[in-house]
Amino acid sequence: MYKEKIHLLGILLISVVIAGIFVRGKYRTSEITNETGVLTPVEIRDYKGQKLSSIDDFRENSIKGPQHIDKKSYELVVAGLVNNPLVFTYDNIVNEHQNYEKVVTLHCVEGWDVTILWEGVLVKDLIEETGVDSTANIVIFYAHDGYSTSLPLNYIVSNDILMAYKMNGVVLPPKRGFPFQLVAESKLGYKWIKWITRIELSDDVNYRGYWESRGFPNDADVP
């Protein structure tokens, strides 16, 4: 009888230990996955030996604060001086076009800069699908918050300018321009338009965007 009690007590102790391990393991997993079963993405801070800035190193200087756009209802209109205006969904752009990665530094007129690994699609791939009219020489970008800016068509094409949907391996958060931010390399930060909703091909070389119409240089070249 004594041996049976000892044996039973041993089984109970083992059961308690196993239950404790299970509960702790479940709790730790829940912390990591936020109860969704999906691990939280971790941003890349080093790419092929090059140190990267954090996605939190940016300063918030948008004209109306971070915009929140529903991916399911999002549409990007590409129109203007084109033969076939198109409307793209988020999935159209991300899943049906070649994606590219490139480390590019954003320089702000305020004096700060960030170096980020950007991932996205080429703007020229999207606009070429519309059949660009031969008279077009300017590309105007419009954002969800009313912001706009423009760049020469030959700059967009010859520099393989990206429209990014990821930064440092992480999908753009709303404050960084989700669903898409322009990676206007060699241009100052006010050309790096976020929350892009429309791309318009134009021949209006005098067009001035939000900050350009307020006195900022239209070429925006990094000094």
How does pLDDT run across 195-214, given as a tens digit for each residue?
999 999 999 999 999 999 99
14 and 50 both lie in a single domain: no
Its pTM stands at: 0.81
* Residue 58: inside a domain: yes
pLDDT number for residue 35: 52
Q: Quick one: 80 and 190 in the same domain?
A: yes
Residues 105 and 144 grouped into a single domain: yes
Q: Of residues 45 and 137, which shows the higher confidence score?
A: 137
> Which residues form the domain of 69?
46-214
User: Same structural domain for residues 210 and 170?
Assistant: yes
Domain identity same for 71 and 115: yes
The model's pLDDT over 91-135, given as tens digits with 9 standing for 90+, comes to 999 999 999 999 999 999 999 999 999 999 999 999 999 999 999
Same domain, 104 and 14: no
Same domain assignment for residues 33 and 52 = no
Res 155: pLDDT: 98
Q: Which residue has the higher pLDDT, 5 or 54?
A: 54
35 in a structural domain? yes
Per-residue confidence band for 27, with pLDDT thresholds at 50, 70 and 90? very low
- Say if CB 193 and CB 63 are below 8 A apart: no
pLDDT at 52: 96
Q: Which is more confidently placed, 34 or 188?
A: 188
Whether residue 75 contacts residue 179, with contact meaning beta carbons closer than 8 Å, is answered with no
Same domain, 94 and 160: yes
Q: What span, in angstroms and rounded, lies between the C-alpha atoms of 90 and 70? A: 10
Helices and strands, number each (H, E), in the chain: 4, 12
Domain co-membership, 56 together with 98: yes
Q: For 16-25, 69-78, 132-141, 164-173, which range has the lowest pLDDT when averaged over its residues?
A: 16-25
The structural domain count of the chain equals: 2
Q: Any idea what the CATH number is for the domain that residue 62 is in?
A: 3.90.420.10
Residue type, 127: I
The answer to whether position 222 is within a domain reads: no
- Give the pLDDT score at 38: 60
Q: Is residue 96 part of a domain?
A: yes
Q: Is 179 helix (H, G, I), strand (E, B) or coil?
A: coil
Q: What is the mean pLDDT of residues 60-88?
A: 97
In a domain, 219, yes or no: no
Residue 36 shares a structural domain with residue 52: no
Question: Do 52 and 83 share a domain, yes or no?
Answer: yes
Helices marked H in 47-122: 90-95
pLDDT tens-digit profile of 134-183?
999 999 999 999 999 999 999 999 999 999 999 999 999 999 999 999 99
Same domain for 191 and 109: yes
Tell me, yes or no, whether 137 lies in a domain: yes
Q: Is residue 221 a part of any domain in this protein?
A: no
Estimate the share of the chain in helix, then strand, then coil, as percent rounded to the nearest 5: 25, 30, 45
Mean pLDDT of 14-28: 39
30 lies in some domain: yes
